[in-house]
Chains A and B, each alone.
Chain A
Amino acid sequence: MHSTRRLLVIMLIVTATAGPALGQMSDPLDAVCEASRNLTAYSAAIRMTQHQAGSQSVIEFEFDFVPPDRMRIVYTAPGTVEGQTMILNADRFYTYIPNLHRSVWKDVGEDASNPGEEMGFLFDFVTQAAAEALELADVSVAESTESFVLEGTDEMIEVDALTLQTSGEQQIVQLSVLDAAPVAIAIYVGERLVMEIRVLDYLINATYDEAWFAIPEQ
């Protein structure tokens, strides 16, 4: 009788202490999957840094995405790429490089890499595929949240940090506690940092204009 009561007490203590921990571990994952699944439109200002062979390239752009396959990117910095535009509309891709007065049209088949894939988990999020991406990776969640400044608005937010490990690649993703949107991603290949994505400002499920995704005639 005593032993049964003792067991019950132990179980209650374990449940009481482990419950919040388990909840904290699963909540950001559930939240990001749900936010991704329910996404109807995404607009953001983004800075990306590519690290390659001792040098780094930084670009900033306005990014609009409507799931499943409409995307517009307009470069804002540096000056050499300002005004460069990329549009994806279903299986048709278009880019315009103003410096060179050059337009490129391309068919994006199922086998072809998608222009946004370099954004890692952020692209999975906007394409409503966050759940699939998390399923394919070994995921761990940091125990506590961190503070993060959205540089576009100087707004301070709290973020959860996830680590997604797949064969050969690791992504450290920071998700806003408020709406589970990814705000920063660092992509490593082995030990080497290859790409950093930082969201400067963003809007989820806001209105959009179809004309943004119209590809000019070839």
Chain B
Amino acid sequence: MRTRRVLLALLGTNFLSAMGITIVVPLISNLEQIFGVSSAYGIWIITLFMLSYAMGMALIGRLSDAIGRRPVYIASMGVFALGLLVSAVAPQFGWVLVGRFLQGLGASGSLPIAQTIAYEHFGKRKGLAMGGITAAFGIGVVAAINLGGGIYQAFDWRAVFYVTFALSFLGWGLSFAIPETLKQRRPLSLDVGGILTFGAAIAAFMMLFRGLSGSSFMDASVWPYAVALAALAGAFLVFERRAAEPAIDLDLFKAPAFVAVIGAAVTGGVGMFVFQTFLPSFAQISLGYTVAQASYSINLMAATMVITAGATGALSDRFGPERALAFSLATTTLGFLLITTISHPTWAYYVGSAIAGAGLGSLMTPINVIGMREGGQGREGISSGIVSLSRTLGGIIGPTIAGFVLAQTDFSSLFALDNLLRAYTRIYRFGMWVGVIGFGFALVLLIRSFRKREVHA
């Protein structure tokens, strides 16, 4: 009974936090008009969220290993709800951004800590529980995409934040039902320098590619970010080597299996975010859908994502997470391939997205299980945090590069829309090749698991 209540609380909080993260997506396509700010300023609504989301992931795993999963989870949900409230009542756009920063920080704790709690709480059925959490998260994303636009159209942007705040407040209340699962606490030592340089490096990376979208590398608005990125990456490594308890424990990367799962997480993250981010606009261009039709058209992919997210948990428990991961990345790659190769656009769109959805839905559980297992006992929080962070990094790198490809489109051509369609094809081909690399990592892990079994036998 208690197990069921814990599971329901984890499912509920993740469903609600996914809604909170995604419900603002319909606003993002029309920032200038909604907030009356320039596009260069408006884009910080995404940049700041991703920045604090990534920085939070580097921080929260370590924090939860030290002070416990439960307080960090409750605090994450609370900060997330607070951020939404700040955005909802914001007197000016700057306060909306402050709210977005808090939302990113809070959101960074929801999925990885929930996965860690499930890993520690559900024993042999952990895969099933983790899959269920991913599925609940996925359903939240789909519900929010369908709901967000409607709320905005019926009311205004504040209503979107108010509704999300109400949902997240409910999620925060639910999070109190979650038990403490940490068995042994580690001493708390925050690597502030590491976290800050890491966040700044991500910001420099995003600004570099944003600059490259409109200017050449040698432009004064571009190359300084490349210099900053190199300097910050170097500084981050120095901080991590010197820190007693580094934000990202580089020792974990001495284990080849951990490196492989991180590789799979980054490539999977690229695939996941590239596919999801560009799918609605791809539907508009290739099928001539309206914005609303395009939003609904991704429901098929979402459905296969949710179904396989749940099923992969059981598959992972029964056959091992390595097979589940290989299935995930092979299927994702196939989805990318089909969406660019089936000649009939409607079939290409729906078959490709449904298959990619099945692959992407089954990604989270195996990478988290393998990551936490390879990270070792007592480091589940930080391992899960690094795995989620790696996926998020993929989620930043992929769409940034894809956005750069799109920005190269020649809109002054009479065949501008065809050029755009070709750019989308290039983006999905890029996703496919990243998927192939990811599948390579999964194969390494699979072969390693077979060898281990032979040794044990």
Q: Does A40 contact B (CB under 8 A)?
A: no
Report which of B30, B414, B418 forms a contact with A115, defined as CB distance below 8 A: B414
Query: Is the CB of A42 closer than 8 A to any CB of chain B?
Result: no
Asked if B22 CB lies within 8 Å of chain A CBs, one says no
Q: In the assembly, what is the distance between CA of A99 and CA of B283, in Å?
A: 10
- Given A100-B281, A118-B413, the answer on whether A57 and B30 have CB atoms closer than 8 Å is no
A93 within 8 A of B: yes
Residues of chain A contacted by B414 (CB below 8 angstroms): 48, 59, 61, 73, 86, 115-116, 118-119
B413 in contact with A100 (CB, 8 Å):
no
Known interface pairs A57-B418, A97-B417, A101-B29; A80-B412 also in contact (CB < 8 Å):
no
Closest residue to A78 on the B side, CB-wise?
B288
CB pair A99 B411 closer than 8 Å: no
Q: Does B285 contact A (CB under 8 A)?
A: yes
- List residues of chain B with CB within 8 A of the CB of A48: 414-415
Interface residues in B276-313 (C-beta closer than 8 Å to A): 281, 284-291
Binary A-proximity of B224-248 (CB < 8 A = 1, otherwise 0) = 0000000000000000000000000
A158 and B427 alpha carbons, distance in the complex (Å) = 47
B415 contacts A50, C-beta separation under 8 Å: yes
Determine whether the beta carbon of A80 is less than 8 Å from that of B286. Answer: yes
Chain B residue nearest to A119 (CB atoms) is: B414
Classify chain A's interface size: 20 to 34
**Please, could you name 23 A-B residue pairs with CB atoms under 8 Å apart, sorted by A?**
A48-B415, A57-B418, A73-B414, A80-B286, A84-B416, A84-B417, A86-B412, A95-B412, A97-B411, A97-B416, A97-B417, A97-B420, A99-B284, A99-B285, A99-B289, A99-B290, A100-B284, A101-B30, A108-B412, A112-B412, A114-B412, A115-B414, A116-B414
Partner of A80, one of B291, B413, B417: B417
- Verify B411–A106 contact, CB threshold 8 A: yes
Contacts A97-B416, A101-B30 given: A80-B411 contact, CB under 8 Å? no
Main secondary structure of the interface of A (DSSP, over half): mixed
Question: Bound state CA distance, A50 and B285, in angstroms?
Answer: 18
Task: Please give the distance in Å from A56's CB to the nearest CB on chain B.
Answer: 10
CA–CA, A112 and B413, complex, Å: 12
User: Are B285 and A115 in contact, with the CB atoms below 8 A?
Assistant: no
Q: Quick one: given A80-B417, A81-B417, A97-B417, are A115 and B412 in contact (CB under 8 Å)?
A: yes
Contact with B along A115-127 (1 / 0, CB 8 A): 1101100000000
Which A residues, 83 to 102, have Cβ-Cβ distances below 8 Å to chain B? 84, 86, 93, 95, 97, 99-101
User: A59, B415: Cβ atoms under 8 Å?
Assistant: yes
A14 interfacial by beta-carbon distance below 8 Å = no
Find the B residue at minimum CB distance from A112: B412
